[in-house]
A and B are shown apart, each in its own frame.
Chain A
Amino acid sequence: MRKDILTVNDLNVYIGDLHIVKSLNLLFERKTITAVMGPSGCGKTTFLRCINRMHELIPNTRVTGDIRLYNHDLFQLNPIYLRRKVGMVFQRPNPFPTMSIFENVLAGYLLNGIKLSKAQKAEIVEDALKKAALWNEVKDSLHRKGTFLSGGQQQRLCISRALAMKPKVLLLDEPTSALDPKSTAHIEELLIELKKKVTIVIVTHNIAQASRISDHSAFMYLGELVEHGPTQKLFTVPKDKRTEEYLIGKIG
């Protein structure tokens, strides 16, 4: 078994005339958490979006280089297939307001018109909610609207919605920046548990969070990948001066 699941080779992203991501090379290992850090506007979110091709929603985007998922160039894959393999969780919880908790978890199947038996549905929902550590809180109110939940619960609902599709990779774009400390801690524990099954890439502003949960860290600055490596090493003996300055709060 290869250890790496995603490789990024000389990736450049342009939006209009702006060069957002500059020749990025990176390798993600299977079943690890990689934190991508950097100040606002450094291109980390754009980079994350490229991994499941959500960047294509932004008008005038151009990409060179490639990203390989299990050695398939993911820009050659069908984006619909790719997005089922690479799930995404956004900064703000965004459950579907017209759907119940139950339907929200199954949204990927329901919206795609994938037929499931009642038993399969119940199984997927229970499994996904348990993985997202939400099952005990909502098991008696599965048919209430997802928007009745608290912010932290909504975010875990969004995580279980992504997990229900059984993705290989889970991308999280600052998933806790809109949440209170308690919900944040909850989600961090959950991510550490989840890495047993999926590869996680998390973009975060929060340096402490990156140090708490990630195995590998990458630091981006002005569109460049400045440094990456095992989190412990990057946090204790950063090679680049900019990384050090970012970690002690001088930039960003």
Chain B
Amino acid sequence: MIQKTSLETLLIKNYLFKGLIVFLSLLMLLPLLFILFFVLKNGISQLSWAFLSELPKPVGDTGGGVLNAWVGSLLLLATTSVLSVPLGIWVGIYLSEARNSKLAFCTRFCVDLLQGIPSIVMGIIAYIWVVVPSGHFSAFSGSVALSLLMIPLIVTATEETLKLIPNTLKEASLALGVPYWKTVLKVLVPTGFNGILTGILLSLSRIAGETAPLLFTAFGSPFLETSIFKPVQSLPLLIFNYATSPYEDWQRIGWGASCLLILSILGFNILAKVVKRS
């Protein structure tokens, strides 16, 4: 009898524990669902072809869109990728290959520190490095600021991915008389390609919503700008400006832009998951 009751208590405890886990996981979901619901409710009605294909109108005129902002955002993301993906992958390869060297240790430490620096500081750095010497705001300076945020993410993703590849593959390649550098570039990197790509997509989605580093670098612009050496608008900047404005239709456009930004970030994340699975 005693055994039976104690078994029952065990089972009950088990259920309670499971219930707690499920409850807490659902609780975790709430903020996200709440944000999504709120943004979609206010923003989805704004999304239309005109919203995507028109430039903003002056205060007072109805309508207008965010063409310059999403084009600017894409321009910033593309430039940032060009600046940070090759460098980040290169450093990641180095860290996973030279695991125990002193330089790797220092590099890893710096990358970790870099990851902890507030994004607004990256903006200031890019301002000093690029905006001041060139004399004007530009998409390029914004990309430099964003790269400082993105490089550590890519380095870490690459390093972690490559570390997971079994050493036997490297040996297989070297034993065929393939030189070391070709082994790294043609065997290790392609084998870890999906992991690295996932890392790139996730870091893109992470920096796509950054506002602070762009405030005094990309700066914003009311025009459609496609040169990386001119100031450009971007979605986060537009949201920042419009949401804090006193005009109701600007605020509505702000909601629409938020909706667009969140949906694109969601898209990046889903794409990253798909890549990871395949």
Contact = CB atoms under 8 A, between A and B. Distances in A.
Interface in B159-177: 166, 168-169, 171-177
Given A96-B191, A97-B191, A113-B182, A83 B176 contact: yes
B168 A161 contact: no
B178 to A, nearest CB: 4
A54 B179 contact: no
A107 to B, nearest CB: 6
20 contacts: A52-B175, A82-B177, A83-B177, A88-B175, A90-B172, A96-B172, A96-B173, A96-B187, A97-B191, A98-B190, A98-B191, A98-B193, A107-B172, A108-B176, A108-B177, A108-B178, A111-B173, A111-B183, A112-B182, A161-B172
Interface in B236-262: none
B190 A162 contact: no
Interface residues of B, number: 19
A94 interface: yes
B13 interface: no
A96 B169 contact: yes
B276 interface: no
Interface string B118-135: 000000000000000000
Nearest to B182: A111
In order of increasing CB-CB distance, the 6 nearest A-B pairs are A84-B177, A83-B177, A108-B176, A88-B175, A94-B168, A111-B178
Interface in B180-195: 182-183, 186-187, 190-191, 193
Nearest to B165: A97
A158 B176 contact: no
Contacts of A97: 169, 191
Contacts of A121: none
Nearest to B167: A57
A107 B191 contact: no
Contacts of A110: 186
Q: Which of B172, B174, B178 has the most CB of A within 10 A?
A: B172
A80 B177 CA distance: 4
A110 B183 CA distance: 11
Contact of B177 (A92, A158, A165): A165
Given A79-B177, A97-B169, A162-B175, 6 more contacts: A88-B171, A88-B175, A98-B191, A161-B176, A162-B176, A165-B177
A90 B191 CA distance: 19
Nearest to A78: B177
B172 A94 contact: yes
A43 B177 CA distance: 23
A162 B175 CA distance: 8
Nearest to A110: B186
Interface of A: 52, 54, 57, 79-84, 87-88, 90, 92, 94-98, 107-108, 110-113, 158, 161-162, 165
A80 B179 contact: yes
B176 A107 contact: yes
Contact of A57 (B169, B174, B182, B187): B174
Contacts of A108: 176-178
Q: Which of B169, B178, B190 has the most CB of A within 10 A?
A: B178
Contacts of A88: 171, 175
B176 A90 contact: no
Q: Which of A57, A79, A111, A113 has the most CB of B within 10 A?
A: A111
A111 B178 CA distance: 6
Contacts of A96: 169, 172-173, 187, 191
A205 B78 CA distance: 56
B187 A90 contact: no
Contact of A87 (B169, B176, B190, B191): B176
B171 A90 contact: yes
A111 B168 contact: no
A144 B183 CA distance: 22
Q: Which of A98, A113, A165 has the most CB of B within 10 A?
A: A98
Nearest to B190: A98
Contact of A112 (B168, B177, B190, B191): B177
B168 A165 contact: no
Q: Which of B166, B173, B176, B182 has the most CB of A within 10 A?
A: B176
B174 A94 contact: no
Contacts of A81: 177
A246 B131 CA distance: 76
Contacts of B171: 54, 57, 88, 90, 94
A84 B176 contact: yes
A108 B171 CA distance: 12
